[in-house]
Amino acid sequence: MTDESQIPTACCETASSNKKHTSPFSQFNISSTDILDSIEKMHCPTCSRNVRYFCNKCLKLVNCPEGAIPELKLPIKLDIIKHEQERDGKSTALHAKILAPKDVEVYAWQDMPKYENVDRLLLLFPSPGAKQLSEIDPTSFDKLVVIDGTWEQANKMSKSDSPLLRMKRGT
């Protein structure tokens, strides 16, 4: 039996129907984003690219007031293996490095680490034999690895003769 006091109350109606849907975000305390509207583009002090919020080449905040962007602590280390042809400006995976800089590393595919102990890594990638995350013992891996690229690029990377090929897979 469900305790109705635990059910989020925020609802919205869609234009196409009168059905009410519970907002998936009502349980979160989401800060105002007004500060982001006031941030202007600026040249990155390291590479001189004209950027807003952060430099997607240097992976550093640019022109953001101290504390405007939260720094998160992830429950596990995360490596992002990025295909060289994936455009930095298109990649949303880079946001993870900005938000959790101490827990996230980004590597170009050709420059990825050799990974000594692939048995302790989990590649998050849909493929035959990949288990659902809910089926995987969370103590069986120390780091999560994700691939950043188009589907074609990601498939090529996942099937290449690299440490990615030897990692356990989850989806």
Sorted by where each begins, the domain ranges of the chain are 33-69, 71-171
How confident is the model at residue 83, as a pLDDT? 95
The residue ranges of DSSP E strands in the chain, in sequence order, are: 11-13, 20-22, 42-43, 50-51, 53-55, 60-62, 77-82, 104-108, 121-124, 143-148, 168-170
Phi, psi of 43 (to 5 degrees): -75, 135
How confident is the model at residue 137, as a pLDDT? 94
Pairing of strands 11-13, 20-22: antiparallel
Distance CA 87, CA 64 (A): 23
pLDDT at 103 over 50: yes
Residue appearing with tokens 């001189």: 48
pLDDT at 9 over 50: no
pLDDT-derived band at 10 (thresholds 50, 70, 90) equals: very low
pLDDT-derived band at 81 (thresholds 50, 70, 90) equals: very high
pTM over 0.85: no
